[in-house]
Chain A
């Protein structure tokens, strides 16, 4: 079992819809969770971080964390074509000295 798992996609949504990206992790002791966006040919960009159970909203982005289910998600409201990218889930595993472990990423395409 991979430590951090994401559906590779591709995930396609129409413009204006809600895109839902999911991530599960295997280490119950994980404390920090991050979502990065990576455009093709570019480096990852941090878009959200979440540390406690519940929802965290920032503009059109909402991160949701459920530690009991070992599940973290990212919702993108009012999706735009410019949101088309690969979204990486990253988790700080316990005992890892706060080193990030990345999922393989979900490729999102927002169709105009």
Chain B
């Protein structure tokens, strides 16, 4: 089946530093990947849509200069949280859409738990 990996699975960083999260589709190519954030007991919140070879599309209210997204290949997208603050602590989840089947099913990575101290 379609597998999406994320690295790291958890990270603790100090306020003001930057953190990069990688999302990889392991057995399919993904022109489009998505980045979500989820706070405890809340719904998934779409942050941005990552398109291979072009700029990401950010949802309203998400700061593009703070959450840098790069989708340099058909299997890798990265999210960099710049100048992290404690309020950025959350569960970040990527997903990748399998365009190869025509069904456009979207598969999620295992998530990255970010804690900013």
**Interface residue ranges, A against B (CB under 8 Å):** 32, 34, 36, 41-46, 49, 51, 88, 90, 92, 98-100, 102, 104-105
Contact = CB atoms under 8 A, between A and B. Distances in A.
Given A42-B110, A43-B93, A45-B108, A102 B43 contact: yes
B49, B104, B107, most chain A CB atoms within 10 A: B104
A88 B103 contact: no
Given A88-B44, A105-B43, A98 B104 contact: yes
22 contacts: A32-B103, A36-B108, A41-B91, A42-B111, A43-B93, A43-B108, A43-B109, A43-B110, A44-B93, A44-B108, A45-B108, A46-B107, A49-B103, A49-B105, A90-B106, A92-B104, A98-B97, A98-B104, A99-B49, A100-B34, A102-B44, A105-B43
B113 to A, nearest CB: 8
A51 B49 contact: no
B102 to A, nearest CB: 10
A11 B34 CA distance: 29
Contacts of A41: 91
Given A88-B44, A105-B43, A100 B106 contact: yes
Given A42-B110, A99-B49, A34 B105 contact: yes
A90 B108 CA distance: 13
Contacts of A49: 103, 105
Contacts of B46: 99
